[in-house]
Structure 1
Amino acid sequence: MYSFTAQQINELLNGELLGNTTIEITGVEEIRNASSTDLTFIGNKKYAKFWADSKASVAIISDTIVLEPGDNRAFVKVKNADLAMAKLLEAFKPPMPVFDTDIHPTAIIHTTAVIGKGVQIGAHCYVGKNVVLGDGVVLYHNVSVFDDTIIGPQTVAWSGTVIRERSQIGAQCIFHMNVSIGADGFGYCPSDDGSGLVKIPHIGNVVIGNAVEIGANSCIDRAKFNSTIIGDGCKIDNLVQIGHNSVMGRSCVMAGHSGLAGSVTLGDGVMIGGSASINDHITVESGATVGGGSGVLNNVKAGQTVLGYPATDAREMMKQWVALRRLVK
């Protein structure tokens, strides 16, 4: 069990300690559910009202909030409570699952595969022909990596992940359960005789940069030709679909149930809300935000925020919603 004093927490976060407590902290909890041995967070003024009734002994608090800790209680005041929370949760993080042996005897590894130093491969994994696994790569049980794929150092793939042939994966990526990388894109055309649909081959691949995290059950389809590209530092939630030949810039964020159709281009730092969908061949420029549930049918300018279906400038869409409410009245 982890245990920290208020002073140790303050030193870890390089904050300002207000008040003090003799109670050692062994866990982290939401302010209304915390016990006396828990630490909690007050990053927004709306949560300050819950402090008086909370049982927590220590809280990380934003320096913009004026509040007294009380008897035998302490605040660690920081500039950014969200960043401080991330740092502290890292200190409380339980250890990763342990491998009894670095490479499980049931794993199938082709003789041409190149395995780096410190690689761990779990039970019933498959590593195909000419695959390269960089130093420190971890494949949990039941991961499949198909031929000619390259995976960079310290990348982790959780159980059920499938990485199709010719994929190129960067360093320090995280793929959660059942991620699909490099499946065929969704492409068909009517047959000449009208009897059905003809499948369009997808002969490209997927290229993923460094420090990319992809949530459970998300799918990145391979390109029809050339590459589907995910830039460095992108963070993709669960149940996200990224279509063939799409290109994401650096540090983009996509929330759950959102999706890119084929050949979408995202600039750097684009944020896409949950359940939003981007039509094919659309460009969303750097720094733009797409609100949750929106449907983007036209290009989005740099730094712009769009909402609605079809998506339009957020301020204009708000005016439309207000006008509609007035009509109802």
Structure 2
Amino acid sequence: MTYTVAQIAKSLGAEAAGDTSLVIARAAEPQSAGPDDLALAMDPKYAEGLSQGTARAAMLWPDADWQAMGLKAAIFPTRPRFAMSGMTRMLDKGQGFGAGIHPSAIIDPTAVLAEGVSVGPLAIISAGARIGKGSVVGPHCFIGVDVTLGVDAYLREQVSIGARVTIGERCIIQPGARIGGDGFSFVTAEPSTVESARKTLGDQGAAEAQPWIRIHSLGSVTIGGDVEIGMGCTIDCGTIRDTTIGNNTKLDNQVHMGHNVSIGDNCLICGQVGIAGSARIGNNVVMAGQVGVNDNIFVGDGVIAGGGTKLMSNVPAGRTMLGYPATQMDKQVDLYKAQRRLPRLLREVAELRKVVFKSEKDD
């Protein structure tokens, strides 16, 4: 899979200069780029590495002096990082999954596979499943009863999809993701100490133990189009209605979504985020790594939560949050600064007390 500099530039809508007939086989960092590689030096601070490699062509920032760098060709995208999306898509060699259905795959006779579906070794597709045109079901995947996969869905190896889950077109699901497990829903016959603690926020003292009784998950999971699910993600079924993810939302590795959670469109949910049951997340929300979201709260459109933030209550649209418990980011930063000043402040207070007490004794 090779392309000329001209082909890459055209696909990106970018300008190119020099010998645009040069053939590119790979992308590489400047210091390790070879003669058939496209060196990625899209910021002046990376250009120094070009002298350590042997690249003939590079992707540079606008107006860069490519000839002074000893290059034979260059591409100049107006938004370099966005250009990375198109360039990496062109040069991605994929996972090498074969076309057609592997003989070791187990497919129920009532499952419906559209044209061009690829099913890998030891995959299982259960009764009533419907797999959309051009989809890929990787090795060791499990597709449950009555699952629907949209057109061009792409499941990497060892993905598990529970019964009645619906996944939209062009979804990408990374290895080890588990979608459609039962929700973590349990109840006691009489009001529990947990329920009392939520009301009073106080100690409960000794109490008679009660067994936790399962609430079954009658809902499933519905995922929109162009969604990506990272490695090791776990998404619970809803209790009565489905747990839902909107269009074009991206989940990083090890994200957990509890039962009945609803996430809107165009959200970015980073690694190790945990979202408790029945939380509602709006559109265009960004949650950095290890954000925690309390159950039954609402996070409004456009909210950004910094790394490690714990959202304990409803967050209005457009807020940028940080800390535990979360407050607006600028206020939280002021608090952090104040905390760092506390030792010095305490020393100053101690010195002032000495002066005051000394003056009182002198009087």
TM-score by length of 2: 0.82
1:239 aligns with 2:254: yes
Say if 2:32 and 2:52, in contact at 8 Å, map to a contact too.
no
Alignment of 1:157-176 (within 5 A): 157-176=155-174
The aligned amino acid for 1:90 is: R
**Aligned residue for 1:272?**
287
Q: Which runs of 4+ in 1 moved over 6 A?
A: none
- CA root-mean-square deviation: 2.4
Of 147, 150, 154, the residue aligned with 2:148 is 150
- Within the candidate set 135, 147, 161, 1:137 is matched to 135
Offset of 1:24 from its aligned partner?
4.9
Q: CA deviation at 1:252?
A: 0.8
Shift in alpha-carbon separation, 1:66–1:159, aligned structure 2, 3 A: closer
* Distance in 1 separating the partners of 2:114 and 2:260: 30
| Whole-angstrom distance in 2 between the partners of 1:325 and 1:57 | 51
* Superimposed CA distance per residue, residues 177-208 of structure 1 (whole angstroms, 9 cap, x where no aligned partner): 11111101111223557343212211111001
In the other structure, the counterpart of 2:33 is 34
Mapped partners of 2:336, 2:142: distance in 1: 48
- The reply to whether residue 327 of structure 1 matches residue 326 of structure 2 is no
Deviation of residue 9 (structure 1)?
3.7
Within 1, Cα distance between the matches of 2:341 and 2:150? 56
Conserved 8 A contact 1:21-1:57: no
Change (3 A) 1:252 1:98: same
Higher helix proportion (structure 1 or 2): 2
Structure 2 residue runs of 5 or longer lacking an equivalent are 191-207, 345-363
Q: Is there any run of 5+ residues in structure 1 with no aligned partner, and where?
A: none
Q: 1:280 to 1:67 in 2, by over 3 A?
A: farther
Measure, in 2, the Cα distance between the counterparts of 1:285 and 1:327. Answer: 34
Q: Which moved more, 1:145-154 or 1:203-212?
A: 145-154
Q: Which residue of 1 aligns with 2:267?
A: 252
Given residue 75 of structure 2, which amino acid in structure 1 is its aligned partner?
Answer: V
* C-alpha distance in structure 1 between counterparts of 2:151 and 2:20, whole Å: 43
Output one character per residue of 1:271-290: Cα deviation in whole Å (capped at 9) or x when no partner.
Answer: 11111111111211111111
Secondary structure of the equivalent of 1:202?
A: coil
TM-score by length of 1: 0.90
Separation of aligned partners in 1, 2:244 and 2:41: 38
Indicate which of 226, 230, 244 corresponds to 1:229: 244
Q: Give me the whole-angstrom Cα distance separating, in 2, the residues matched to 1:313 and 1:44.
A: 32
Cα distance, 1:66 vs structure 2: 5.5
Which amino acid in 1 is paired with 2:227?
V
Tell me: CA distance 1:107–1:38, structure 2 relative to 1, closer, same or farther (3 Å).
Answer: closer
**CA-CA distance at 1:216 after TM superposition:** 1.1
